[in-house]
Amino acid sequence: MTNGGVPPQAPPARFKAELRKARRKNAGGQEVNFLNITAMLDIMTIILVFLLKTLGESSASIPQNKDMTLPKSVIQTQPAQEGVIVTVSKTQILVGDNQMLQLPGRESLAQTGVGARYKRSGPNDLYIVPLGNALQSARKTDKLMREAKGLDASSSEAIIVADQTTPYRLLIEVLFTLGQNEFGKYHLMVVQSKSAN
Amino acid sequence: MAQAPTPLSAAQRAKVRRLSEPQELAPDEEGGELNIVPFLDIIVNILIFMLATIAVTFTATIDTTPPASRSAGVRAKVKSEALNLTVLIVNDGFSIKASGGNVAPGCQGVGAGIAIPKKNGKYDYAALNKCAAKLKGSNPDYADETQVYLSANPGTDYQTIISVIDAVRATPKGTALFDDVNFKVPR
C-alpha cells in the first residue's frame, strides 16, 4: 500500500532525539562574544577613589616648589593629621590657606625675624601680631571641634610646614606665637629620606 | 531480523536544521552592551600614575612643644641627676652642654670649646650622634632620659635643625637616644 507519494517520515520520538542532538552540537560551538570586566572595573574605580581621597587628606598634597621645599629627615613615623596647618615659605606665612603676611629677605629674617612692624613691642619681641590674630580665631574653632570630639581641649595642635631654608629665628617666632595662643603641641613636617644629610 | 529505523525525511531534516540554529540577537538587543574599554584604559592609566607619584612624597612629622624662654633652664619635671643635654648649633659646629658643664672638643670630658667642630666645612652629624650616645651611656641614671634642648644661631637654617634632631634621636642601629626635642630661644 502506498501513501500517495509522500516520503516516509521518522517517528516523532526519533525526530525529537535528532533535534536535541543538533541543538547540543550547535550550542557547543558558540563563541564568547565579550569579556565581562564589570567586576574588575568596580575594583579599579574603588582603588582610584581611595587613592584620591588618601592623597587629598594626607600631607603628600603639600606642593613642593622653589618657594616651599620641605626639609629631609630619616624619621619613619606617620605624619600627624590633626592640627592647624601653619605654612612658612620663603616669602610668606599662611594659616590654613589664608596668607597672613609677606616675609622680608633672608638676611633680615635671620636678624630680626619678620620685622618690627609686625611685632607687639619692637624687633626683639617674638610675637607676630597678624599670625597671632589668625591663630586666636583658629584656636576658638579648634577648641570647639576638640570638645565635640571628646578630646582634650585645654590646648590645640599645629602642623608646621616650613621651608628648609627657614632661619631659626623665624621658626622660634612662629612657635612662640603658637604657644601664646594655646597651641601646646607642634608637628614639624618633613620629607622622609634614607639619608637626610 | 531487526528492522532498520526509518531515516528522517528531507522535510524533517530541514526542520531540525532550522530549529537547532543558534538564535541571533535582535538589532536592539545587540546594542545593549556599553563599550567601557576606553574608560577602563583611562582608569588604569590614572591609577598607575598615582601609584608612581605617591611613592616619592612620603612625609613624616617630628613632635615638639613650645620653646622655652631664655631664662628657663631645667624644667621642673627633670630630676636633679639628669643629663639635661643641650645642643647649641653655632657657625663653627655643635657646642654641647650637659649637667656637668660644657663638653670639651672631641666629646672628651668637660672643658671649653666647640664639642663637635665642623668637618671639611660641614656639620659633623655622625660625630654628634656618637657623642650623644656616649653621654647617654656615661651614667645609668641617664638611660630613661629622652629630652634634649636645642638652640641655634638665628640664621641657622631649618634643614640643619632637622638633621641635628635626627642625629640625637637614635643610633644608626636604632637604639633610642634623645627623641623629645625642646627648642630654646636664641640669645
| pLDDT the model gives residue B163 | 94
**Residue B109 exposure: Cα atoms within 13 Å on the Cβ side:** 1
> Residue B40's beta-bridge partner residues?
none
Q: How far apart are CA B170 and CA A127, in angstroms?
A: 33
ipTM: 0.71
Predicted pLDDT at B184: 87
Q: In the numeric block, which cell numbers belong to residue B82?
A: 639628669
Would the CB atoms of A187 and B33 count as touching at under 8 Å? no
Tell me which of B15, B34, B39, B59 to substitute to probe the interface with A (most A C-beta atoms closer than 10 Å): B59
Per-residue pLDDT tens over the stretch A143-189? 998 899 888 888 889 999 999 999 999 999 999 999 999 998 999 99
Does residue A101 or residue B30 have the better pLDDT? Answer: A101
Confidence of residue B74 (pLDDT cuts 50, 70, 90): very low
Whether residue A92 has pLDDT greater than 80: yes
Q: Within an 8 Å CB–CB cutoff, is residue A53 touching chain B?
A: no
* Mean pLDDT value across chain B: 82
C-alpha cell at A145: 571641634
**Residue range A54-81: average pLDDT?**
77
Q: Which amino acid is at A174?
A: V
- B16/A27 Cα distance (integer angstroms): 14
**Model confidence, pTM:** 0.71
Q: At what angle do helices A168-180 and A129-149 cross, to 10 degrees?
A: 50
- Name residues 67-86 of chain A within 8 A of B (Cβ): 70-80
What is the chain B residue with the closest CA to A55? B54
DSSP state letter for B176: B
Cα A108-A113-A118 angle, rounded to 5 deg: 110
Residue A136 sits at the chain B interface (C-beta within 8 Å): no
